[in-house]
Structure 1
Amino acid sequence: MSAKEFFTPAEQARIEAAVREAESRTSGEIVPMLVDDSYDYPRSEILGAGLFALATATSLSWAFFGESLWHFLWLFALSYFPFKLLIRKLPNLKRRLIHPAEISEEVKERAIVAFLENGLHHTRDETGILILLSLFERRVYVLADRGINNAVAHDTWDGVVDTITRGMLQGDACSALCSAIETCGQLLQENFPVKTDDTDELPNLIID
């Protein structure tokens, strides 16, 4: 399911309302963001297709062509691109071909880029919070500006991530995200209460 289809229109409205409610009590900014993936991982398709094509060509050449090198080569070439396409079309298979550390780094990098591209580092009190949900990787990443990071414990965001992750696994990502937004709002309210001239500086939901 793509990012544009993951939340229904009613759920999107509910998330945006949760952000508005949380931000009504603080000068901080909370931006949930939903993306299809953080990276396309081309190496996983190349290596995976190569391994599957190698196994297929080896087995068929041994079984039918007496271990002929020439038959092995054309069998390998013939099967490589179908396997590459198959891996691309099967995200569960593709995900298994990627090292978890690479996934973690790519999701983190996507969060940093999104944070900068969407201007979360330009909020007045440096209190922007990005909540990134990356669907292919099944990962959640929370990135907060230094204003709020200097005021809360470093492991604070782990609880926010766990809340959303559990909700996604249980099939209720919308409620989990709204709960996480409320938690972020409470943290911001404690440290950065709303000001009389406060304005909504950033989008309440980004779907990319």
Structure 2
Amino acid sequence: MKLFPWQNEKDFFTPEEKESILDAIRKAEQRTSGEVRLFIESRCRFVDALDRAKEIFFQLGMEKTMARNASLVYVAVKDRQVAVYGDEGIHQKVGQKYWEEEVNKMLVHFKQEHLADGIILSIQDIGEALHQHFPYDRDTDKNELPDEIIFGK
């Protein structure tokens, strides 16, 4: 599904890596009412990757989840920039330092050229935080946002 008219799936990942990332998203969301999305592009057109992540977050309508507990992992591969943006519900629970630590963990993997591994680890960590603060309730939970990887320019 192309949410952005310029969306162009690049070969940043092997088919196996893509499936592993999607599996990590699905597993993270199975234990929480929270949502996790991944946006990948070549270059960040903002000086601060967090500003770009916030822009994309709102373009995707991620702030519309019932508990305001969606998180976006943003990666600009060629610029080697990364950010994680969490909506107000989850941000109030984990705080800014948590997001910064997730970015730093990803950067360690990225420096070793393990892009998919760093992303998967971060998705798993975010899923755990979401589970802790917004546990899954089978009576009320629904998948509010698509799970696929979003590829920008």
- Which bracket does the TM-score occupy, shorter chain normalised? 0.7 to 0.9
C-alpha distance after superposition, 1:63-113 (max 9, x if no partner): xxxxxxxxxxxxxxxxxxxxxxxxxxxxxxxxxxxxxxx722xx2332121
Partner of 2:63: 121
Checking the alignment, whether the CA contact within 8 Å between 2:29 and 2:36 is kept in structure 1 is: yes
Instruction: Looking at secondary structure, tell me which structure has more helix per residue.
Output: 1
CA distance in 1 between counterparts of 2:142 and 2:22 reads 16
* Matching residue's letter, 1:19: I
Kindly state the Cα deviation for residue 177 of structure 1 after the two structures are TM-superposed: 0.9
Checking the alignment, whether the CA contact within 8 Å between 1:3 and 1:36 is kept in structure 2 is: no
CA distance in 2 between counterparts of 1:199 and 1:206 reads 20
State which drifts further: 21-30 or 195-204: 195-204
Partner of 1:77: none
Partner of 1:174: 116
Instruction: Looking at secondary structure, tell me which structure has more strand per residue.
Output: 2
Partner of 2:142: 199
Correspondence 1:34 to 2:40: yes
C-alpha distance after superposition, 1:130-174 (max 9, x if no partner): 000012321111110000011113200111101111111101111
CA distance in 2 between counterparts of 1:167 and 1:122 reads 31
CA distance in 2 between counterparts of 1:113 and 1:123 reads 16
Q: Indicate the SS of the match to 2:85.
A: strand
CA distance in 1 between counterparts of 2:110 and 2:145 reads 25
Paired residues, what number?
A: 143
**4+ runs deviating over 6 angstroms:** none
* Matching residue's letter, 2:19: A
Q: Indicate the SS of the match to 1:110.
A: helix
Partner of 1:4: 10
CA distance in 2 between counterparts of 1:27 and 1:177 reads 20
TM-score scaled by length of structure 1? 0.65
CA distance in 2 between counterparts of 1:130 and 1:182 reads 13
CA distance in 1 between counterparts of 2:87 and 2:124 reads 18
CA distance in 2 between counterparts of 1:206 and 1:143 reads 15
Identity %: 29
CA distance in 2 between counterparts of 1:132 and 1:166 reads 16
Kindly state the Cα deviation for residue 4 of structure 1 after the two structures are TM-superposed: 1.2
User: Structure 2 unaligned runs (5+)?
Assistant: 1-7
Q: Indicate the SS of the match to 1:150.
A: helix
User: Structure 1 unaligned runs (5+)?
Assistant: 40-101
Larger radius of gyration: 1
CA distance in 1 between counterparts of 2:47 and 2:109 reads 20
Partner of 1:80: none
